[in-house]
Amino acid sequence: MGYLKRYGDRKYRIIYDLPPERGKRRQKRETLEGASKRQAEAILAEREATVLAQRKAIENGDQVKDEVTLGELFDKFMETKRAMKESTTVNRYATYVSLYLKPRFGSMKAGSLKPFHLTDAYTQWQVKGPIGKAVSGRTVRHVHETLRNILNWGVRRELLSRNVAGLVSDDDLPKVVKPKPVALTEDEVRDLLKEAKSPTSRSKKRGYLSSQPWFYPAVAFAVYTGARRGEVLALRWSDANLDKGSVTIARSITEQMEIKSPKNDRTRTVSVPDKLCAILKSHRAEQAKGRLALGAAYKDEDLVFPHADGSPVDPWNFGRAVIDCIKRAKVTPITLHGLRDTHASLCAKAGVPLEVVSQRLGHASIGITAERYLHVYSDRDADAARAFERLVG
C-alpha cells in the first residue's frame, strides 16, 4: 500500500509500490507541489489503482504497456519482420538495431524513454559513433526512422502507450544535404565499355569476374537500360524480346542470393537499342556453346548473365568488379549505381522527357526522379529559352 508525507505548505510526497521485477520489491516516489492533502490523496489512489491493474494483468499473463524493455521490444519487432519482410529490409533493420539502438536503449523500460534520450544519442553519434567514427546526418536520420517504425509497431500492438520518436521535431534531427548524382560523359561511357570488352591478361589469368564472358554484356545492359544491379543479374532470356528490341524487368536478386520482385514491385518493359540487342544476341550464342560443353553440369536457370556453369552472380561481387573496371578505364570514379545515374543523365541530355526516364528507371513516382535529377534538367533551361526564342522571335 502507498502513503504520503507532508513536506511543507501544499507540498507532499507520495510513495507507492510498483509491480515487482524479478521477484524484487519496487517503490516509486513522487513529489507533488501546490497540491492540497485531498488532491495528494486522490493522486495516490489513482497511482495505486494503475499499479493494481498492472498486477492483475501480469497475473493473467497479459502484457502491461510500457513495462517491456526496449531490448525486448526490438527483439519482438525483428522476429515479426523476419517472417514478413524481404531480406534486404530485414538486414537494414538488424544493422540499425544491433549497432545503434539496442546498445544505447536496450536496457531501458519503454515507459522511461524520453525525447531527450534520442536527441542526446543523435548528437553524440555525430561526434563519435558506435564503432568510433563520426556518423553522418543521413545515417542518424535512418536510425531515427527505424526507431520511429519500431515504436509505432509497439503502439499498434498495445505494448506502448505512445511513440516518443514522434515527438522529436525535424529541427532536432541533423540536416542532410543530398549529394548530386555523379555520372559519366558519353566519351567516358565508350571508354568504360571498351575496357569491359577487353579484359587484361592478368584478370584472365586470375579468373576475375571482369574476364568472364558475361561481364561486358552485363555492363552494357546496365548502361543502356539504367537497371539496378540485382535486376541485371536476375534477368532471364524469357524476359528479353530481342527481335522487337525490348526487355521486361520483372525480378531482382539480393545479396543473400534470393530472387524477389523489383524495388517498389514495379515490373517494367523498356526498349533497348539495336546495338545492345546485337551485344546480347552474340552473348546468347556464346553462352549456348558453354552450356552445350557442360551438358548436365550446367545449372540452367535461364539467366542472361550467370557464371559459366549457369549459377547466379553475387550482386556485391558484380559491383566490385565494375568499380575495378571503372578504375582501369580511368574515367570519373563512380559505383555500379552510378551507371544508373549515367543513363538518366544522358537521357536528359538527349531531350528524353522526365516521365520516360522515370519509367525506364522503375521509380515509384516521377517525383522521385525529379528530386534526384532535377539539376540535370535544369542544365537544359538555357536550351529551352533559346528554342522558345526561335519559335516566337
Answer whether 185's CB lies under 8 Å from 343's CB.
no
pLDDT at 383 over 90: no
pLDDT band at residue 242 using 50, 70 and 90 as cut-offs: very high
> 251 and 236 in contact (C-beta within 8 Å)?
yes
Contacting residues for 116 by C-beta, under 8 A, at least 6 apart:
none
Residue 227, pLDDT above cutoff 70: yes
Which range, of 57-61, 196-200, 323-327, averages the lowest pLDDT?
57-61
Q: State the amino acid at position 130 in one-letter form.
A: P
Tell me: the pLDDT tens digits for 286-311?
A: 999 999 999 999 999 999 999 999 99
pTM score: 0.70
At 374, the pLDDT band (50, 70, 90 cuts) reads: confident
**pLDDT digits over 207-222, tens only?**
889 999 999 999 999 9
pLDDT confidence of residue 203: 82
Average confidence (pLDDT) over 156-174: 90
pLDDT value for 317: 95
pLDDT per position as a tens digit, 107-130: 998 889 999 999 999 999 999 998
Q: Quick one: pLDDT band at residue 132, thresholds 50, 70, 90?
A: confident
Domains of the chain are: 3-59 (no CATH), 70-172 (1.10.150.130), 186-384 (1.10.443.10)
pLDDT of residue 391: 82
Q: Are strands 11-21 and 3-8 parallel, antiparallel or unpaired?
A: antiparallel
Provide mean pLDDT across the span 59-70.
Answer: 69
Give pairs for 79-84: CB < 8 Å, separation 24+: 80/153
Residue 304 near residue 170 (C-beta atoms within 8 A):
no
Given a cut of 60, whether residue 58 has pLDDT beyond it is no
83, 261, 275 from 266: Cα distances, Å: 22, 8, 26
Q: What is the pLDDT of residue 287?
A: 95
Residue 237: DSSP 8-state = G
Band of pLDDT at residue 89, cut at 50, 70 and 90: confident
Q: Is the pLDDT reported for residue 61 higher than 70?
A: no
pLDDT over 70 for what percent of the chain? 94
- The confidence score (pLDDT) of residue 60 equals 59
Name residues whose C-beta falls within 8 Å of residue 107's C-beta, 6 or more positions apart in sequence. Answer: 69, 70, 71
